[in-house]
Amino acid sequence: MTSGEVDIVLSNPADVRLFDSSGNLLWQDGTSNTSVLRLNVSSPSGYLKGLASGNVDVWLQGMQSDPNFTFAVLYKDSQGNVLTQDSIHADIVTWNYVNRAGQPIGNVEPIWKDALLAAATASFGPLQLPDSSDVDPSSANAGIFQSEFAGLSTSQGASLTITSDSDSSDSATESLMSNGQDSFLQSRPVALYNGNEYGSTDDSEFTSAQKNQIQSALGLKQAYFLGADSWRRGAADVRDRSLS
């Protein structure tokens, strides 16, 4: 290329921020000059000047959900005619936790295992464990929750896989159900639990029979164990989350 212009075109500029290969902010909607997304081939300058002779890496950070985001690169001649173009499509997804009432919650924390088991095996019937729908959900913690994904294209199904960080064979996969336009939700709530509460020395996992009983009685999809050592590292580090 010796003349013409190369343009980066974003379907919705507010959806993303762009970064160079060193992690420096390249462009942000409303704060950056759009000239950084354009290369004058006859007089190359700026970060994109490398396109005149080779490849240039541009990194994207999603800023809001969008099930139909497009990043396009156009090459135009000196009269502005598009000679060639290429584009990629991406679902920009927002991952949130919600309580059983569908309200976003501030944090997810484990339930004491003895309380979870007692609620499921009460002699007069399963107990309803309180969750963040009983208080201000924006500042509440909850051990019973569902994952909600906004910005997923509804043209195809989606599934969620949760895998232990210490045992890759310990995993669970489930299909997500549509929860309105461009939004998907786990089919049933899940719970986090551990035994490291109130001086308890029993920080072991439930047996398979106990787990099945709890899930059936309380209407849970899964009950995930977070041991004391794992919990001190932070819940975000304990389980790998994969969306497909």
Through-space distance between the first and last CA atoms of the chain, rounded to whole angstroms: 39
Instruction: Mark whether 212 and 109 lie in a shared domain.
Output: yes
Q: Does 156 lie in the same domain as 66?
A: no
pLDDT tens per residue across span 156-194: 667 888 777 777 777 778 788 887 767 888 888 888 787
- Average pLDDT, whole number, for the chain? 79
Burial classification of residue 58, based on how many CB atoms lie within 10 Å of its CB (0-12 exposed, 13-18 middle, 19 or more buried): middle
Where residue 237 falls among pLDDT bands split at 50, 70, 90?
very low
- Give the pLDDT of residue 96: 85
Does 111 or 141 have the greater pLDDT score?
A: 111
Q: What's residue 150's pLDDT? A: 87
Considering the domain architecture, whether residues 102 and 87 belong to the same structural domain is answered as no
Three-state secondary structure string covering 16-37: EEEECCCCCEEEECCCCCHHHH
So what's the pLDDT on residue 140? 45
Same domain, 208 and 232: yes
65 and 139 housed in the same domain: no
Angle between helices 113-121 and 208-218 (to 10 degrees): 60
Q: Last residue of a domain, which of 69, 91, 113?
A: 91
Number of domains in the chain: 2
Among 73, 91, 109, where does a domain finish? Answer: 91
Q: Name every residue whose Cβ is closer than 8 Å to that of residue 50 and which is 6 or more positions away in sequence.
A: 56
Backbone torsions φ then ψ of 88, nearest 5 degrees = -125, 150
Q: 134 in the Ramachandran plot: left (φ > 0), alpha (ψ -120 to 50) or beta? A: alpha
The reported pLDDT for the residue numbered 230 is: 38
* The pLDDT of residue 138: 47
- Does 116 lie in the same domain as 72? no
Query: Which of 40, 61, 91 marks a domain boundary?
Result: 91
Q: Do 117 and 178 share a domain, yes or no? A: yes
pLDDT for the residue numbered 21 = 92
Same domain (yes/no): 108, 74: no
Q: Are residues 117 and 86 in the same domain?
A: no
- Residue 48 domain boundaries: 5-91
Phi, psi of 161 (to 5 degrees): -115, 125
Let me know whether 83 and 159 are in one domain: no
* pLDDT (tens digit per residue) in 73-117: 999 998 889 999 999 999 898 888 888 777 888 777 778 888 888
Same domain, residue pair 237 and 128: yes
Same domain, yes or no: 213 and 120: yes
**pLDDT for position 227:** 54
